[in-house]
Amino acid sequence: MFVIDLGDGAELRPLEPWQAEEFLAHMDRARATVDPWIPWASRSTDLDSARATLQRYADLAARDAGRLYGIWLDGMLVGGTMFVSFDATYGVCEIGCWLEPAGRGRGLITRAATHLVDWAVRVRGIHRVEWHCRTDNTASGNVARRLGMRLDGVLREEFLHQGVRYDTEVWSLLAPEWRGDGTAG
């Protein structure tokens, strides 16, 4: 197993189906604040559905089409980052994230996402890294800015949540813009 030290007692590690019980406990703490942004939060409500969420990402990883990583703070799962989609053939991926209140305000998502972007660009040869978020998710848009991404545009009423349609911002970073220190050059 690999662990990436994010500093200040935080670690980035793969999040896998065998961790469904821990993931479910985390979702129970995080659901109210995560559900508006991450569609699978409201679907991970018992051990079987939590395991199914994690298995979906394990299957994506096996096909080299996505991956899921957890962020642990002082030994407790508090959030994560993921390759929502990953296409090495076309050189495009999308990164996403989530975080429960206990992990906020520490820069954990920016540090974790920096590792994902760096690996995608430098190791896997990804040319375009995308970040999608609702226009009212200021915290997520701020992470995209800190990563050096540019706002490409807004997809009007693209995201459906509880019967309401929301606009989605699409941010991107191109490989030649990446310096590897969490910023674009």
What residue ranges do the domains of the chain occupy?
4-177
Average pLDDT over residues 42-47: 92
DSSP per position, 93-110: EEEEEEE-GGGTTSSHHH
Amino acid in position 25: A
pLDDT at 129: 98
pLDDT at 16: 96
Query: What is the torsion angle, in degrees rounded to the nearest 10, for the CA atoms of residue 81, residue 87, residue 92 and residue 95?
Result: -10
pLDDT at 164: 93
Structural contact between residues 73 and 30, judged by C-beta atoms closer than 8 angstroms: no
pLDDT in tens, 135-150: 999 999 999 999 999 9
According to DSSP, residue 121 is labeled: I
Give the pLDDT band of residue 182 (cuts 50, 70, 90): low
**Encoded tokens for 111:** 């540090």
| CATH 3.40.630.30 is held by the domain 4-177 | yes
Closest-CA residue to 103 (of 171, 42, 34, 55) = 34
- Report which of residues 68 and 41 the model is more confident about: 68
pLDDT in tens, 75-122: 999 999 999 999 999 999 999 999 999 999 999 999 999 999 999 999
118 three-class SS: helix
DSSP per position, 31-58: HHHHTTT-GGGTT--SHHHHHHHHHHHH
Walk across the sheet containing 4-7 and list its strands.
Answer: 4-7, 10-14, 67-73, 76-87, 92-99, 128-134, 164-174, 150-161
Give percent of the chain with pLDDT exceeding 70. 96
When mean pLDDT is compared across 33-37, 55-59, 167-171, the lowest value belongs to: 33-37
Mean confidence (pLDDT) of the chain: 94
- Report which of residues 21 and 36 the model is more confident about: 21
| CA end-to-end span of the chain | 32
- Report which of residues 182 and 162 the model is more confident about: 162
pLDDT at 106: 93
> CA-CA distances (angstroms) from residue 27 to 71, 92, 122, 184?
13, 29, 32, 32
The alpha-carbon radius of gyration of the chain (Å, integer) is 16
Rounded CA-CA distance 7/154 in Å is: 34
pLDDT at 161: 87
Give percent of the chain with pLDDT exceeding 90. 86
Structural contact between residues 42 and 31, judged by C-beta atoms closer than 8 angstroms: yes
